[in-house]
Amino acid sequence: MNYHFGKGRSRLTPYLLLIPGLFFYILIVLGPSLATSVFSFTDTTGIKGSVIHWIGFANYKEFLFMGNASHDNLAVLGRTLKFCFYVTTIQFVLGLIAALLVNKKLKGTAFFRTLYFMPVILGVVIQGLMWSLFLYPLGGPVSKILEFFHLQSGFFGGQPSEAFACVIAVQIWANMGITMVIFISGLQTIPDELVEAAKIDGANSWQVFHHITWPLLTPSVNTNLLLNVIGSLQAWQLFMVLLGYRNETQVLGYLIYAQGFGQTSGSVTSSFRQGYAAAASIVLFLIVLVIGLSVQHFLQCREERILG
């Protein structure tokens, strides 16, 4: 560490200039994050001046084991995992197909790539409103198509399972572009000569994919799987925009928000169970950690098997 800009007191300049950013980081990210576990052992409500009690593991016990509420909570956990599973797998497969096709040297592929990535910039509010309209149940376009097949659905206003499935679809629609772009960057690292050589040797498209593309895509497969798993476990904002806090559709992220801040607004005048919400955030964190690490482990073993 050769510092060139003076000695003595002026040596302190980089430290001083670094302080504001570091201060914000500790204040906004690091501190609150670490404090979450402490809060989870209290009955804090977030109301100014109210007394806070240390209640040990009561929040966790209540969340996981007590009465009907815990029964619902376990259903929420299950639903979160289900959401994660469907979003991850479908988004992975669609993103891979889209990347493989867009990466072909065909006319117009730039247009498709641009189009598929588009929702990512729009954000949950516009994504949500667009789909509420597109899935308008009273004679909207999708509704008409279903009608043609003698089917009908209330979509976001229909049965909880239907509404839930629709949110899964929108979530995939919204983020598939990211998966695709990561796969494309992986595909571009595969040398053309390799594929050409295999074709000359008589390999068909499937064989090329199976023996060359897929193994060499391993890094982007890993990135995408981890990203999708972790991202979809934490996702909940589309639920807020599309469904609101509706029974039998909630996921864990939304439950934390609803318990901590009330269902529709952050008004501090009524009482909210922020200690309980903090405990739920720790539960979510542990789930993300365990699943994330298992996926990571699985991917590493797989990588060693394929490339090692």
Q: What whole-number distance in Å separates Cα of residue 158 and Cα of residue 249? A: 11
Q: Per CB under 8 A, does 85 bind another protein?
A: no
Confirm or reject binding of residue 274 to another protein (CB under 8 A): yes
Q: Is 55 in the site for another protein (CB under 8 A)?
A: no
Task: For residue 99, give the nearest of 180, 212, 174 by alpha carbon.
Answer: 180
Q: Would you tell me how many other CB atoms lie within 10 Å of the CB of residue 295?
A: 17
Nearer to another protein, 119 or 216 (CB): 119
Whole-angstrom CA distances from 131 to 57, 154, 180, 197 are 41, 13, 21, 45
* Min CB(269)–another protein separation in Å: 10
Q: Which is nearer to another protein, 71 or 125 (CB)?
A: 125
- DSSP letter at 42 equals B
The yes or no reply on residue 277 touching another protein (CB under 8 A) is yes
Which residues, numbered 164-203, are part of the site for another protein (CB under 8 A)?
173, 175, 178, 181-182
**Angle, CA 269 vertex, CA 264 and CA 273 arms, to 5°:** 70
Binders of another protein among residues 123 to 152 (CB under 8 A) are: 123-126, 129-131, 133-134, 136, 138-141, 143-144
Q: Give the C-alpha separation, 132 to 243, whole Å.
A: 10
At how many degrees (to 10) do helices 160-187 and 67-102 cross?
A: 40
Per CB under 8 A, the list member of 54, 65, 85, 111 interacting with another protein is: 111
Q: Which is nearer to another protein, 151 or 305 (CB)?
A: 151
Among 106, 194, 197, 290, interactor with another protein by CB under 8 A: 106
The yes or no reply on residue 8 touching another protein (CB under 8 A) is: no
Query: Distance between alpha carbon 122 and the CA centroid of its chain, in Å?
Result: 16
Q: Which of residues 20-49 bind another protein (CB under 8 A)?
A: 20-22, 24-25, 27-39, 44, 46, 48
Piece of 60-68, 74-82, 151-159, 259-267 that binds another protein (CB under 8 A): 259-267
Task: Write out the two tokens for 55.
Answer: 């209640």
